[in-house]
Copies of this chain bind each other. A is one copy, B any other.
């Protein structure tokens, strides 16, 4: 993808729009659409207002693209208008969007996608044979041999077969059934679909959904939308954000008085917390789910993003099967994966899959019915998923380049994970757990009492106040810990480690300088 990189350089002037292209102007426009004032005309009252709208939607919060990101958009607009700032560009370290940060796409993946998109290219000598073969295989499984046809609601058949084969390989031979694979519009779609089917009951029998704190705010948003009850269990920050089963027990015990806990969500590797769960921990969680009769949701979208040499990724599915038939034929599990993270970072294609285990056959029918209302996930995203689960193998023409590109991305991420941890821990008043996996740092920041008071005077959460100041003074956009949840009285922020190494070093240095100044100001 050298050409793509060259195109990035040519495509925009670093002075006015920076190396992240025009995405920011688009986000800025989004901010402006929300914020700019309309001229007041004499009008009838609106039908759809904050008062009359769906209160569950009103209650939704989504910090990763919340007020701080709208503010970032405003600042970008101001920079474009020539307003002077102590920085020349906004750096969006708020979202795990690798390619927006300059990570090049995997060549083989894009070659296959281009061939599928425009099959005339199957005659072109500039594409490798294995890419052509793969494109043909995908197209033959599509209606009319085209990415432009709807697929089956559950996803293209041969892609689901490839997903099943991948899972079987990944899990050392534990079998996976293509009938249990559902392709999705990113992992978010799968997670919200399963939760949507699960939720029922009113009053004290409303469905309780257990989620980690800190969590990825998709969970709280969907729970709010569905009018379910969010049951928090706290990860153990003192212990590298480990999931402690005693804490699960506390949470479920306390929840039982006022709701019906039905589902347990686990994110491994953790987002925003970056911990990688041990096999033992996963066993304990599964045993707990079995004991408490909880439906398990395993968000495993960062399964390729493990950096710490002491950690390995263990899938919930594999551990479940290794625990024997009492578990493997009883525990209901849905696990999720995506094209957006890993080494490919194909967020824009909205590809993903879920595997369901022990789902009641009638519920599988209900699931297909519900999915069919939206017709199908984007077929291009399904094709991208296929390449992620079925990459070139040794002996194939594209294998070497593919492996080189993959290793380069993952090697860089591992380096940046260590760099970030080390640098944050050098700053007084910042503590950062090891980034064992995923693609975020979630350091704890110790804020002086005067800063907390100043935040309260501005009616802001203290870490929101901190992050707003960071954004206004350095142009660096990170997400306050309050958007993910945290123990009362503790403060954090989430920052991606996706900028290129040199850029990341600058960012970290700027955060450090800002933090030191911030402590002085509010000492």
Give me the interface of A with B, judged by CB distance under 8 Å: 1-4, 7-8, 11-12, 20-27, 29-30, 32-34, 37-38, 41, 43-44, 46-50, 52-55, 57-58, 60-62, 64-66, 95, 97-103, 105, 110-111, 113-114, 117-124, 126, 136, 139-154, 156-158, 160, 178-179, 185-186, 188-189, 192, 196-200, 217-218, 221-222, 225-226, 262, 293-295, 329-330, 332, 344-350, 358-366, 368-370, 372-381
Specify which chain B residues have a CB less than 8 angstroms from the CB of A143 in the assembled complex: 20-21, 23-24, 97, 99-100
Whether the pair B222, A373 counts as a contact (CB closer than 8 A) is: yes
CB < 8 Å: which of B33, B60, B154 contacts A370?
Answer: B60
Given contacts A329-B41, A349-B380, contact A373 B221 (CB under 8 A): yes
* Shortest distance between the CB of A269 and any CB in chain B (Å): 19
Given contacts A26-B157, A148-B346, A347-B148, contact A142 B373 (CB under 8 A): no
Q: Can you sample 14 A-B contacts with CB below 8 Å?
A: A11-B145, A25-B157, A26-B156, A34-B368, A48-B359, A50-B360, A110-B117, A111-B118, A185-B185, A185-B350, A188-B374, A222-B373, A349-B378, A350-B379
**16 other A-B residue contacts (CB within 8 Å) besides A21-B144, A24-B143, A54-B200:** A11-B140, A12-B145, A22-B141, A23-B144, A26-B141, A29-B178, A48-B360, A50-B360, A54-B198, A57-B366, A99-B143, A217-B373, A225-B373, A348-B378, A350-B376, A378-B378
Once bound together, how far apart are the Cα atoms of A360 and B52, in whole Å? 11
Nearest B residue to A21 via CB reads B145
Specify which chain B residues have a CB less than 8 angstroms from the CB of A44 in the assembled complex: 293, 330
Given contacts A20-B144, A136-B11, A157-B29, contact A363 B48 (CB under 8 A): yes
Nearest B residue to A220 via CB reads B373
Nearest B residue to A195 via CB reads B54
Once bound together, how far apart are the Cα atoms of A47 and B330, in whole Å? 10
* 4 smallest beta-carbon distances between A and B, as pairs: A100-B143, A23-B143, A26-B157, A348-B379
Whether the pair A33, B345 counts as a contact (CB closer than 8 A) is: no
Specify which chain B residues have a CB less than 8 angstroms from the CB of A226 in the assembled complex: 54
Specify which chain B residues have a CB less than 8 angstroms from the CB of A98 in the assembled complex: 148
Once bound together, how far apart are the Cα atoms of A24 and B363, in whole Å? 23
Whether the pair A142, B23 counts as a contact (CB closer than 8 A) is: yes
Once bound together, how far apart are the Cα atoms of A146 and B61, in whole Å? 28
Specify which chain B residues have a CB less than 8 angstroms from the CB of A151 in the assembled complex: 23, 26, 348
Whether the pair B379, A147 counts as a contact (CB closer than 8 A) is: no
Whether the pair B8, A145 counts as a contact (CB closer than 8 A) is: yes
Once bound together, how far apart are the Cα atoms of A225 and B372, in whole Å? 13
CB < 8 Å: which of B4, B140, B330 contacts A146?
Answer: B4
Once bound together, how far apart are the Cα atoms of A378 and B378, in whole Å? 7
Once bound together, how far apart are the Cα atoms of A141 and B29, in whole Å? 12
Nearest B residue to A227 via CB reads B227
Once bound together, how far apart are the Cα atoms of A185 and B41, in whole Å? 33
Given contacts A156-B26, A363-B50, contact A97 B141 (CB under 8 A): no
